[in-house]
Structure 1
């Protein structure tokens, strides 16, 4: 299972890089046709590309962990959609506890990393750092990989 997790992370990282690069190229073409221009040297562009590319392996490893724990395809897909897409919409940033909970989710980390590239990011009641968002990415990937390996190891013994 550890080898599967490594291969999954590698393949989805390449996929994420390709999708982020294609998205950047198409966005650049659209903007240049309208008189606006964006280049790799602009502030925050590389961070947005890296955050977007690395969201794919984080989500894939989370899906792998949920799949190994649940062991049912349909339920695993539903759980993955709920955890990665729907759960970040539930907690608000108006209270400290819910803001902290929201800050621990990968989609919120991606949102934080990409919002930093905006000319003026929207103000938050409980702001958090870009380093904290990168930490969320790393912890989700590491914990998901560990859960997948431990679930299979424990179940197969």
Structure 2
């Protein structure tokens, strides 16, 4: 479909920027609905048992926002990999490997390993979901986790737009 799109609109950068904006908007809305509904349903169950948490608590709101924004960050990463790889099956496998395998391999127990772990979106989401950070040798901040989200989204958008505009389809 992208070849047809580029035939109809040869300005690749504009087309891809519009696709990045559309994917971001749709997945952010989807993420917000899913995260909000999940939080609401979970709290309805937990409040019946006396363990509910209000959305006004900073850690709860931060977790819902981080969960909602994980969808567009992941979608943009997938879009960037798709723009580079250009085949569906290898793209799916590569995105899975990039987003889910490294968090299992790198931890916060060694300095170099913590640096890699802190740069991954899944670890950022886990950090944003913690009310009190785990006592680890190399902890990180919530601001750092939000920065990881922004960096992954911006880098993925740049790879999608710039990478595709520099090659033939």
TM-score normalised by length of structure 1 = 0.94
Q: Residue in 2 aligned with 1:26? A: 41
Matching residue within 73, 76, 87 for 2:88? 73
Distance in 1, Cα, partners of 2:133 & 2:24:
30
Partner of 1:49, secondary structure, is: helix
Q: Residue in 1 aligned with 2:136? A: 124
Contact (CA 8 Å) 2:108, 2:136: kept in 1 or not?
yes
Q: Deviations over 1:2-31 (max 9, x none)?
A: 110010000000000000001101111110
1:98 aligned onto 2:110: no
Distance in 1, Cα, partners of 2:124 & 2:51:
28
Matches within 5 A, 1:6-155: 6-115=21-130, 117=131, 120-155=132-167
Distance in 1, Cα, partners of 2:53 & 2:138:
30
Q: Residue in 1 aligned with 2:3? A: none
TM-score normalised by length of structure 2 = 0.87
Q: Which one is further off, 32-41 or 18-27? A: 32-41
Runs of 4 or more off by more than 3 Å in structure 1?
none
Contact (CA 8 Å) 2:54, 2:60: kept in 1 or not?
yes
Distance in 2, Cα, partners of 1:140 & 1:134:
10
Distance in 2, Cα, partners of 1:22 & 1:83:
28
Structure 1 stretches of 5 or more lacking a match?
Answer: none
Name which one, 1 or 2, has greater alpha-carbon Rg.
Answer: 2
Deviation at 1:85, TM superposition (A): 1.2
RMSD: 1.2
